[in-house]
Structure 1
Amino acid sequence: MRGGTVAVVGGSIAGCALASAAARAGADEVVVLERTHGRLADRGLGLCIHDGRAAELAATGALPTGIAAHRLTRRSWVVRDDTAAGPAGRVFWEQPFLFHSYHWGLLWRGLRAATPASVVYRQGAAVTGVAGAGERAEVRLAQGTTEAFDLVVGADGYRSVVREAVCPESRPAYAGYVCWRGNFDARRLESLGDGGWSPESVTTVCFAGGSCVVYRIPGPDGPRVNWVLYAMPPQTGRLPFNDPTSFPPGQVTEELTAHLGALLDREFPPYWAQVIALTDPADTFVQPIYDLETARTTAGRLLLAGDAATVVRPHNTSGAAKALQDATAFEDAWRRAGTWDELLHAYQAARGAAGRELVALARRLGRGQVEQPPVWATMDRREAESWWQGQLGGAADIGGQAMTP
């Protein structure tokens, strides 16, 4: 199929990837409608992509070459042990971890730079509604205008306007816990020593009621340390976790900050508590954990991708890979289709069930690592391996599934 006009609502990772896919596949016009005016590249989050998924995505062109990435090979699971272990705690299990880590902003910048010049990227274009019945789809913009396209792609994240039209019954569901996130310049580690921590290793600090993942990522000015700590929030009832919106960097409440400090003092090996404490308040935020699955990813002339289609808890380390796989499936479906209906049907067949499986796996991981964790301090390697296979529930690994050729 050749020709046609496409609007992509949302201009972050999924949006850039889907816009590039549409342009490569042969669309006459591709317009990205991004609501923000600011620099998306300033987002400093860390993320990982499984080596197997990265190789597949690079082969299809969905993951451009040359984007800064940090190689990871091992994951160490650690508990505090005041009787036998040193300040870095006791390692009770190590497993292979074949991933590369990325800086969100640098990944987005690479995807944005690789977007074909024919794509029109409009910032400050907030979409307030869409309609996709019939032979055309329409987007309504905040300034009151309406624009029509042959297809509208929702790549507008967990609060997707397009999803409201495709699956109005689907809502993000709060998992009952939050994550504290932060990152800092890796040179700050020099004040603590390396703690036996290899640059290629991911460390998971385990404690009663949660876990914390710590690893290095590339940064605009050199390597950084990125961490994500999952735990129940303070049980005061005063904090608004009924909405997926985060407490952004620099705006974390005193109550949440104090709760994190007490948790580090009580549960963490001293070295890892000091590592987390190296993070500036301006680089620390809190994110309620939600998940969401949809019964369908298409309706009429509307299509969902990335977090607009499924919100997967971060334990699965699959968010960026899933968005790029959505773009790959979209481009493949376009090239094989003779009509818009065939394109939409093929995309739904390729990505609908895949998204729901990722949500189910991430829920198991959340239960096993936060909601109903084992007694970490008593675990050994054999018990940990058995526990992990139960977490996977038949999946080959975390990081997303391999795509069918």
Structure 2
Amino acid sequence: MKTLRVRIVGGSVGGLFVAALLRQEGHDVRLYERSGGGLAGRGAGLVGQRDLFALLRAVGCEHVAHVGVVAHERIFLDRTGEIRHRQATPQMQISWDHLYATMRGKVPDDAYVLGRTVLGVEQDAASASLRFDDGSREEADLVIGADGLGSIVRCAVVGRHAANDYAGYVAWRGLVPERDLPAEATILLERFAFYDMPQSHTLGYLVTGPAAETAVGERRYNWVWYRRVAAAELPALLTDAKGRHHPYSLAPGQVPKTLAARLRQDAADLLPPPFAAAIAAEPRPFVQAIFDYEVPAMTRGRVALLGDAAFVVRPHTAMGVAKAAGDAMALARHLFAHQEVETALQAYNEERHPAGAAIAAYGRRLGAMLE
């Protein structure tokens, strides 16, 4: 295929994956990320999967897969904090921050534009164009929406506003420096830990430090507590300490202090002591609502969707990053194999739409106990 002007909306790892692959093929690629400060420091650990490893090999970054923390077993706690079951299933959690930083290094600064908000995408038979919040426009041969569950590009594919479906529960999260974890939580270290109760699920594991540190004492403990929240109560939950409403999540520091205190008290009342101690050690818990969405088609004309812009899958799958990697590799492969953009995108949709639908269905099955 001839050299294309490719414009990508969304600068997280999914957008960086496809940008790196297409730049290797000589295409003119530029990413637009609405965040003014970039996305470094926003991730914790992720489970490596086959598609992610394949992508890292394709861009010459296999070393990223070797930077992480190994959980040597899985343990399941009872209400008192005793281990009621264990499984010898070693697993490494790769550093999201290290992955992001490495992939970010694959795209030069002048091709990674921060603080530019795309309001819409339009297209005709010959090109597609981005419309920015400052009134400007930019034409491209291909627009890729890698802008997550709040995707703006999605509308250009489905032809209407496409809202995500709330799953009925949220994930409370914390990321505690290992040195700040109290002695009561020591049993949680070096392993995946789980606790189940009706309509609630808690888990936790060690991840690297913010600069990919793996030494004991320099790591962080990542905990997640899934809890039911009625749809009518969600707007109040997602209102930050300054009274501003957020559609999907509250970041560290945005949760009102009274709500954070209530979370810690609930943990003390309901969870095993090790998990309650880990939650109490997090001064700035954050929360994300869990949503579902499946796009009817991943492409239209000269516009393609990738990652959560197409399929919002529940975090229980641990496959979000791998799904984005699979999308990126398939899109790059079909653009290489076909002369026409539209033909390449049709082939991409035929390959990846069933894969995304299967992962989304798997996530719903895993989350059924919380519903």
TM over 0.5: yes
Q: 1:351 aligned to 2:352?
A: yes
- Alpha-carbon distance in 2 for matches of 1:99, 1:294: 32
SS in 1 for 2:148: coil
> Which residue is 1:171 aligned to?
163
Amino acid corresponding to residue 229 of structure 1 in structure 2: W
Contact 2:55-2:329 within 8 A present in 1 as well: yes
Cα pair distance change 1:53/1:96, threshold 3 Å: farther
How far off its partner does 1:22 sit? 1.5
AA in 2 matched with 1:213: L
Q: For 1:238-281, what per-residue CA distance to the aligned partner results, in whole angstroms no more than 9, with x for missing partners? A: 72569642122112135532442233122212122112211122
- Counterpart residue type for residue 198 of structure 2: A
Contact 2:145 2:154 in 1 (8 A): yes
- For this pair of structures, how many residues does the alignment match? 356
Q: Structure 1: how far apart are the matches of 2:100 and 2:77?
A: 32
Tell me, yes or no, if structure 1 residue 239 matches structure 2 residue 236.
yes
Letter in 1 for 2:97: G
Separation (CA, whole Å) in 2 of partners of 1:355 and 1:24: 25
Query: What displacement does 1:79 show?
Result: 2.1
| Alignment correspondent of 2:215 | none
The 3-state SS of whatever aligns with 1:65 is helix
Q: Structure 2 matches for 1:290-305, cutoff 5 A?
A: 290-305=291-306
Q: 5+ residue gaps in structure 2? A: 212-217, 239-244
Change (3 A) 1:58 1:121: closer
Which secondary structure state, in structure 2, belongs to the residue aligned with residue 11 of structure 1?
coil
**Which residue of structure 1 lines up, in the alignment, with residue 104 of structure 2?**
112
CA 1:134–1:112 in structure 2 vs 1: closer, same or farther (change >3 Å)? same
Task: Report the counterpart of residue 100 of structure 1 in structure 2.
Answer: 93
CA separation of 1:236 and 1:353: change in aligned 2, threshold 3 A: closer
What is the Cα deviation at residue 327 of structure 1? 1.1
Deviation at 1:235, TM superposition (A): 9.0
Q: Does residue 204 in structure 1 map to residue 194 in structure 2?
A: yes
Q: CA deviation at 1:325?
A: 1.5
Provide the residue aligned with 1:374 in structure 2. none
Alignment of 1:274 with 2:273, yes or no, is: no
Q: Greater CA deviation, 227-236 or 315-324?
A: 227-236
- 1:77 and 1:92 in contact (8 A); partners too: yes
Counterpart position of 2:34: 35
Q: CA deviation at 1:124?
A: 1.7
1:220, CA displacement in angstroms? 2.6
How far the C-alpha of 1:64 sits from its partner, in A, is 4.9
In the TM superposition, residue 194 of structure 1 has moved relative to its aligned partner by 6.2
> SS of the residue aligned with 1:158?
helix
1:48 Cα deviation from its structure 2 partner: 1.5
Residue 216 (str. 1) matches residue 206 (str. 2): yes
Q: Out of 142, 146, 151, which is 2:142 matched to? A: 151
For residues 56 and 71 of structure 2, the distance between their equivalents in structure 1, rounded to whole angstroms, comes to: 18
Distance in 2 between residues matched to 1:215 and 1:101, nearest whole Å? 12
Q: Is the 8 A contact 1:154 1:302 kept in 2?
A: yes
Q: Which letter does structure 1 place at the counterpart of 2:299?
A: T
Whether contact under 8 Å (1:205, 1:211) holds in the other structure is yes
Instruction: Return 3-12 or 214-223, whichever deviates more.
Output: 214-223
2:152 alignment partner, one of 136, 161, 164: 161
Contact 1:20–1:119 (8 Å) recurs in 2: no
SS of the residue corresponding to residue 41 of structure 1 reads coil
List alignment gaps of at least 5 residues for structure 1. Answer: 82-87, 372-405
In structure 2, what is the equivalent of residue 49 of structure 1? 47
Q: Partner letter of residue 223 of structure 2?
A: W
TM-score by length of 1: 0.81
Matched residues in 2 for 1:6 and 1:271: separation? 49
* Aligned residue type for 2:162: S
* SS in structure 2 of the partner of residue 206 of structure 1: strand
- Matching residue of 1:334: 335
User: Residue type of the partner of 2:260?
Assistant: T
Q: What percentage of residue pairs aligned between the two structures are identical?
A: 32
CA-CA distance at 1:111 after TM superposition? 0.9
Amino acid at match of 1:156: D
Counterpart residue identity of residue 102, structure 2: G
AA at the equivalent of 1:364: R
Mapped to 2, the partners of 1:73 and 1:141 lie a distance apart of 48
Give the superposition deviation at 1:95: 5.8
Aligned-residue offset at 1:96: 2.4
Secondary structure of the residue that 1:239 maps to in structure 2?
helix
**Which residue of structure 2 aligns with residue 21 of structure 1?**
21
The answer to whether the 8 Å contact 2:49/2:319 transfers is no
Runs of 4+ in 1 over 6 A off after TM superposition: none
Are the structure 2 counterparts of residues 101 and 203 from structure 1 closer, same or farther at C-alpha, using a change threshold of 3 Å? farther
Shift of 1:353: 1.2
Partner of 1:403: none
What are the residue-to-residue correspondences of 1:363-374 with 2, within 5 Å? Answer: 363-368=364-369, 370-371=370-371
User: What amino acid is aligned across from residue 202 of structure 2 in structure 1?
Assistant: C
Are positions 1:362 and 2:355 aligned together?
no
Instruction: Name the CA shift for 1:74/1:53 in 2 (closer, same or farther; >3 Å).
Output: farther
Distance 1:235 1:247 in 2: 16
Aligned to 2:241: none
- Note if contact 1:73-1:97 (Cα within 8 Å) is conserved in structure 2: yes
* Structure 2 contact 117–133 (Cα < 8 Å) conserved: yes
Which amino acid in structure 2 is aligned with residue 179 of structure 1? A
Residues 63/158 of structure 1: CA separation in 2 closer, same or farther (3 Å cut): farther
- Looking at structure 2, the residues matched to 266 and 236 of structure 1 have their Cα atoms a distance apart, in angstroms, of 24
After TM superposition, the structure 1 stretch with the greater mean CA deviation from structure 2, 291-300 or 250-259, is 250-259
In the TM superposition, what whole-angstrom CA distance separates every residue of 1:197-243 from its partner, at most 9, and x where no partner exists? 452x2111222321111011112353111111101138984725696
